[in-house]
Structure 1
């Protein structure tokens, strides 16, 4: 099984040879041209942070064949796009028909389960960070109705961020905390979108998210319970007073994809847990049983980095 998440932070030329990723770039010390190779079968994600890097079309095609998600970054070095595999699942049309035929009550119950687990994970994040507010969030989680009719998700968010980062924190501000969280969220979102496409789902058709301008509405739905895992790493392991998001910070955020997480009663690394979650969504839809959807749970045990 693929397990490596490759991050290209300096100008390089990327190509493919004998089913291997070939990276050619200058050595930082000697200035000599060096070549590195990595088997494509070992790679899960490729993040291109340097905007001067060159990648061949042959490599892009092979990356798609191996179901490798390729991230691009904007001028602030934050992930802003992802290349995903297309039409790789043998039962793709069947999966898509089931997705399109979902009845509204099932959609609302699935969203209820997602919101409830997200708030439970937010409560766990506060507890692990030594912050107050856990009991209030758990009370809100118990009040999540079908389709989150009472908007417990938005109520929980206002309470959660105030306790985690202080009353002065504003989601969406251009600061270190928001940049770090957005970086981690983008990586998780890309992995969810990758798994959805590989499994045969149409990622633009969501449960709750339904923007006509968003090709990844379903990915945005399913990544919600993973957000507190990113928040926990930002709050507990990064220096939130840092002026900029450094390469070291980004490497740590990239490691979130290899964190060990609990999915029901089994332990997975985070990327594998996403694949299992997407598979369980197919089962939940085909059986019309929302309880079949398996969602990640944030616990103290899971937070060690998986080597």
Structure 2
């Protein structure tokens, strides 16, 4: 199983040699990494040259490639095209999925998201845990009462002091958005890997959004990023988002969590969740497998 997450921060050339990624920096020695060990590759520096043959091999090995903008935030993702052997069949089933099933799946995603928010507060010894557990029990099919929004409002008030998700200048939001972007692209990769189209969501339906389905599936995974961001700000006097902090945010993907009574990494759990979504669509019933914090 691939496990390595590579973050490239210096000017270099990336090549392929003997089924290995060859990192050729301008002023340092070359380093090689077996492609089969790599799950995610993040290109942060603007002066990185990538050979086309490497892009093809990344796709063959199911490696998710991120590109970053001038502010070093992920702005694009590259992953395998039609990597599932029944892609057209799965896409047809996805498009034909009935609204009641979509509503039940969204209900489950929201319910588990709120429970993970409660567990996040509990582990961090913050207040407001019981109210979130109560919110999770009120979520109905399709979350028609928009309990998700009410729970999120309460959750962030309890997690951070003097905080608003709408404040783009708050460094905590910068950190959250970076972590969420990494999760989102990894989820999109896994969705494509099981033959689903990320543009067609269960709840999210923005016609300009190519990742509506990824934005649905990410919901129960967000609290893992929240936990890491809270911990980073508690342990450090942070003035900007540097390479060291980004490395720690990316390591959310290797965090051990629970899914189906098994202890796995977030990255592996994402695969299980996307596989269970495809199974739900095939069977036309909710058999979603979703993650939880290890307590």
Structure 2 length normalisation: TM-score? 0.97
Q: 1:267 aligns with which of 259, 263, 268?
A: 263
Residue 4 (structure 1) aligns with: 4
In structure 2, the gaps of 5 or more residues are none
Residue 39 (structure 2) aligns with: 44
Residue 166 (structure 2) aligns with: 172
**Contact kept in structure 2, 1:63 and 1:69, CA below 8 Å:** yes
Structure 1 residue 267 displacement after superposition: 1.7
Between Structure 1 and Structure 2, how many residues are aligned?
A: 293
Distance 1:151 1:264 in 2: 27
1:243 to 1:237, Cα distance in 2 relative to 1, 3 A: closer
In structure 1, the gaps of 5 or more residues are 301-307
Distance 2:181 2:188 in 1: 10
SS at match of 1:208: coil
Q: CA offsets, 1:226-278, max 9 Å, x none?
A: 00010011112444651101211111111111111111212211111111111
SS at match of 1:34: coil
Distance 1:57 1:227 in 2: 33
Structure 1 residue 192 displacement after superposition: 0.3
Residue 197 (structure 2) aligns with: 202
Q: CA offsets, 1:10-39, max 9 Å, x none?
A: 11111111211111013xxxx4x4211111
Residue 222 (structure 2) aligns with: 227
SS at match of 2:30: strand
Residue 304 (structure 1) aligns with: none
RMSD: 1.2
2:114 equivalent to 1:119? yes
Kindly report which structure 2 residues correspond to 1:152-171, keeping only aligned pairs within 5 A, or say none. Answer: 152-166=147-161, 168-171=162-165
Structure 1 length normalisation: TM-score? 0.93
2:130 equivalent to 1:100? no
Residue 177 (structure 2) aligns with: 182
SS at match of 1:21: strand
Distance 2:123 2:246 in 1: 22
Residue 246 (structure 1) aligns with: 242
Runs of 4 or more above 3 Å deviation:
237-241
**Contact kept in structure 1, 2:280 and 2:288, CA below 8 Å:** yes
